[in-house]
Amino acid sequence: MRILICEDSALLREGLVRLVEDAGHEVVAALADADGIDERVADSAPDLAILDVRLPPTWSDEGVRAALRLRAAWPDLAVLVLSQYVEERYAADLLAGKGGALGYLLKDRVTDVAEFLETLQRIGDGATVFDPEVVAQLLARRGRDERMQRLTDREATVLALIAEGRSNQAIARTLYITEGSVEKHVTAVFQKLDLEPDDSGNRRVLAALAYIHHDASAQNGPQS
């Protein structure tokens, strides 16, 4: 893959460059801030852009705003956003935006090299992947919803794995059950949550995440 990296920490930026290059990918740009990132994407045509949530000059939401722009302008560009902490509002903004493959990971995941590279490849291949910690917080907020309470413990676990971007095969391996059992759980989850059944990975992940985030957004109200 051709990868663009935008990370203000020189240590992490150079670490990411070496990590992905050692894995056989090409780094087409390594930027310290989002200034001019649109032009760099246009010039270098990366397959995947990795951005920090917080970038100079304010270290607030520059990375998220850049990610939203890039996803809207280049629908085929996969985007992975890295964050130090779980920031639900930013996850919601990314979910609501238009675009293609999407990832939202905590930076701690980068320390597990094999897992990070696997996730990177999945996003590059078109998957939508959200950090398990983000998913867990969204599910916890959603737990008071009547429809969430319809789920069995196993169905709630399956929903969390769906929202992390896991395929039925991967869920079966994780839970040590058959793919047929996973399919039954997935069908039950979507029926109980009043979601349209869908076998395509991205749409079912986005549907699940959009659903479980709805309550958190309503409780938090508009953000300035």
Q: Per residue in 73-89, pLDDT tens?
A: 999 999 999 998 877 77
CA distance 71 to 65: 10
**Residue 85 has what pLDDT?**
83
Same CATH topology for 2-130 and 134-220? yes
Q: Where are the alpha helices (DSSP H) in 36-96?
A: 37-44, 62-73, 88-96
Mean pLDDT of 38-62: 93
- Give the model confidence (pLDDT) of 101-125 as tens digits: 899 899 887 888 998 999 999 999 9
Q: What is the mean pLDDT of residues 10-32?
A: 96
CA atoms within 13 A on the CB side of 139: 21
Rounded average pLDDT over 26-39: 96
Does domain 2-130 bear CATH number 3.40.50.2300?
A: yes
* Lowest-confidence region among 22-26, 41-45, 127-131, 211-215: 211-215
**What's the whole-number average pLDDT of the chain?**
85
Distance CA 110, CA 182 (A): 29
| Domain positions in the chain | 2-130, 134-220
Q: Which pTM does this prediction carry? A: 0.78
- Compute the distance between CA of residue 186 and CA of residue 192 in angstroms, rounded to an integer: 10
Distances (CA, A) of 119 to 87, 106, 215: 20, 12, 27
The answer regarding whether domain 134-220 maps to CATH 3.40.50.2300 reads: yes
